[in-house]
């Protein structure tokens, strides 16, 4: 348990309570979907790939992401798994792993554990520990956040706000749906899409924040056709290349 003084101190820096829009009546996608993306540093050539997949696992739906980014001086392979309620898409637990220089870094969390704080357990080779963060609102991991964002019933200009855990870190994410539609050309085809704009801010260091942009197709499938995420080495863009079962 966190000491009471620590919980109070963290509470004073927590963001205002976040709200979460309702999911659309028809999510437009089903288990068995597999999406493949090309990954590149923004403005550079293709430097990696990523897949998103949804599979059934008993009473839960397993959402997975696996990817590789290989550019000069940087080679990183990662995977993330999220087990969510099939009707609500609210995560129950998650685990992710990042392999780069040195031993793999693993983090995991249990969303159904009660309390003011969300606990992220982590290991890095022989080192292991736990970080606790005061919840500012609904909490997702990175993979379930993508699937929830594509499934939300958002009108142009509507906002959203929630927390995101992953990679041993904890983020406050807030954003909105931009007005209008855009054409997004990808190797998988051309799509009419709406754009979600957001800012992710480190909960324990507000000076660290990155922009996030997600384009979701306006057709019934609600495909995430492109994603741009700021990182410590610069913005990374994932572009849809293939849709398959």
Percent of the chain residues topping a pLDDT of 70: 92
Whether 15 has a pLDDT exceeding 50, the answer reads no
140 C-beta neighbours (distance < 10 Å), count: 27
CA atoms within 13 A on the CB side of 67: 28
Q: Could you tell me if 181 and 193 are in contact, meaning their C-beta atoms sit under 8 angstroms apart?
A: yes
Closest CA to 216 of 167, 166, 175: 175
Which of 6-15, 28-37, 123-132, 150-159 comes out lowest in average pLDDT? 6-15
Query: pLDDT-based confidence at 18, cuts 50/70/90?
Result: low
CATH number at residue 226: 2.40.360
User: Measuring CA to CA, which residue among 244, 149, 241 is closest to residue 191?
Assistant: 241
pTM of the predicted protein model: 0.87
DSSP characters for 29-47? --TT-EEEEEEEETTS-EE
Q: What pLDDT band is residue 3 in, cutting at 50, 70 and 90?
A: very low
- Can you list the positions of beta strands (E) in 85-217? 91-99, 105-110, 117-124, 127-134, 139-141, 159-166, 169-177, 182-186, 189-202, 205-217
Pairing of strands 159-166, 139-141: parallel
Q: Computed from CA positions of residues 64, 165, 22, 183, in that sequence, does the dihedral angle turn out positive or negative?
A: negative
Give bridge partners of residue 49 from the DSSP assignment: 38, 68
Domain of 226? 4-244
Given a cut of 50, is residue 2 above it in pLDDT? no
pLDDT 10s digits, 50-95: 999 999 767 789 999 999 888 777 788 999 999 999 888 999 999 9
β-strand partners of 183: 192
CB atoms near residue 241 (< 10 Å): 17
How many distinct structural domains can be found in the chain? 1
Q: What pLDDT score does 79 carry?
A: 95
- Higher per-residue confidence, 87 vs 122: 122
């Amino acid at each position: 348990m966190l000491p009471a003084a620590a919980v109070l101190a963290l509470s004073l820096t927590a963001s205002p309570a976040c709200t979460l829009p309702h999911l659309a009546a028809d999510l437009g996608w089903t288990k068995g979907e597999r999406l493949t993306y090309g990954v590149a540093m923004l403005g550079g050539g293709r430097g990696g790939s990523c897949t998103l997949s949804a599979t059934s696992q008993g009473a839960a739906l397993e959402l997975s992401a696996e990817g590789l980014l290989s550019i000069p001086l940087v080679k990183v392979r990662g995977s993330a798994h999220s087990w969510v309620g099939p009707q609500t898409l609210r995560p129950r637990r998650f685990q992710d792993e990042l392999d780069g220089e040195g031993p793999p870094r693993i983090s995991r969390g249990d969303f159904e554990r009660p309390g003011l704080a969300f606990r992220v357990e982590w290991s890095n080779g022989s080192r292991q520990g736990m970080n606790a963060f005061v919840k500012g609102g609904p909490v997702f991991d990175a993979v379930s956040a993508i699937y929830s964002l594509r499934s939300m019933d958002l009108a142009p200009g509507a906002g959203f706000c929630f927390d995101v855990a992953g990679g041993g870190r904890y983020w406050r994410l807030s954003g909105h749906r931009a007005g209008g539609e855009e054409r997004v050309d990808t190797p998988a085809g051309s799509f009419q899409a709406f754009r979600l704009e957001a800012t992710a801010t480190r909960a324990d260091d507000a000076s660290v924040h990155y922009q996030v942009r997600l384009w979701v197709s306006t057709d019934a499938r609600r495909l995430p056709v492109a994603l741009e995420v700021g990182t410590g080495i610069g913005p990374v863009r994932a572009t849809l290349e293939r849709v398959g079962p």
